[in-house]
Structure 1
């Protein structure tokens, strides 16, 4: 048959016939060769090895060259997909920034700083307000003790929150 030959049980095919068979150009075949597609000899290709390399059929053998080539292509494809996704994410973030969906760090810091200053002042004044409310029902010394205990608890809570971000109440001993 023209363009085919059999050698040691292998079907060999010419470059021209292989291009026709796989419906690719000779340039594509040249690119495949550069990427590691196994070629039998100049102008001749082992049809089974080429098809295995392209991943059309699963290899029953443990040909390390073909497997390595396919693995490298798969890794390259995965890396290219990850790269394209990262580029798309970067473009999305840039678009969001341009649309004003993000706030500048300095503005956020200033606003949070103001908020927490007001919060601290409000929390610190709670002990005096609550002591005044309780003062009508208890002795003045007891009201001052309650105010001091509330003040200590509030200070402890604010300090814990500023360091750890969480407040854990101390358990009282009986």
Structure 2
């Protein structure tokens, strides 16, 4: 018995055989052939382009009126509906796994640690600016006035930092 070839390039598209497509959706070859009769697009005899099939199934589900109760539908329609929902969820899961593998997402703990480091440096820099301003204005005003300005700036920066974050949570002003 000859082994069926499951994948073939047709018109520059990677297509699946009826058997492979049936396996991918967890249905029988007969079910796939019934889809063809209902309008499912096919590239050539026995070969299907998966994105076209998924689009067809998605459109078939979208054509369903919003007020239709899935539970009252015939079991074959329920099966197609839930299979499509499963495939969508599996696709979303695979997309998420790929995005994580590409590094599109960070661990929450890493992001929090990096933000904490950033804000510690920011706070030190802002408070260091107070002393620099005090030194810069000292030649133009007496020492008491320079200290008073320095303290006023320090209070303003501390107030701003307290308003920005309270108990680790950003606070709106």
TM range (shorter): 0.3 to 0.5
Give me the TM-score of the superposition, normalised by structure 1. Answer: 0.47
Give me the TM-score of the superposition, normalised by structure 2. Answer: 0.47
